[in-house]
Amino acid sequence: EAQVTQNPRYLITVTGKKLTVTCSQNMNHEYMSWYRQDPGLGLRQIYYSMNVEVTDKGDVPEGYKVSRKEKRNFPLILESPSPNQTSLYFCASKTSPNTGELFFGEGSRLTVL
């Protein structure tokens, strides 16, 4: 089954404790992206990757890092999480940067205390 898989789905952590949210897709998509969803703000792009070893900042990259060493994986790293990073995070992928439809993961709800 074609899917985008994120882990963990739920996480409660404390300020400053490094964490990684993994994202994996099995559709051989070139393009992958991370979004955060906050009430009243919709989805905002954090980072995106057009292909392996090619990543770029989205609209709200501060406090986040990403890497794209393999085509299928695009982990989101919070080196020193802060409470303002409490949010619902979605990973998404699409066939190539130029195509339209995004396929989303199930979401990861992160709470930073």
Partner 1 sequence: AQSVSQHNHHVILSEAASLELGCNYSYGGTVNLFWYVQYPGQHLQLLLKYFSGDPLVKGIKGFEAEFIKSKFSFNLRKPSVQWSDTAEYFCAVRKSGGYQKVTFGTGTKLQVIP
User: Interface residues with partner 1 (CB under 8 A)?
Assistant: 4, 35, 40-45, 48, 50, 58, 90, 92, 97-98, 100-102, 104-107
Nearest approach, Cβ of 85 to partner 1 (angstroms)?
Answer: 19
Least distance to partner 1, CB of residue 1, Å: 14
Q: How far is CA 12 from CA 28, 45, 71, 85, in A?
A: 31, 22, 29, 11
45/67 with CB nearer partner 1: 45
- Between residues 75 and 105, which has the closer beta carbon with respect to partner 1? 105
108 - beta bridge partners?
89
Whether 98 contacts 9, CB under 8 Å: no
Taking the C-alpha atoms of residue 31 and residue 11, their distance in angstroms, rounded to an integer, is 26
Of 10 and 82, the one with the shorter C-beta distance to partner 1 is 10
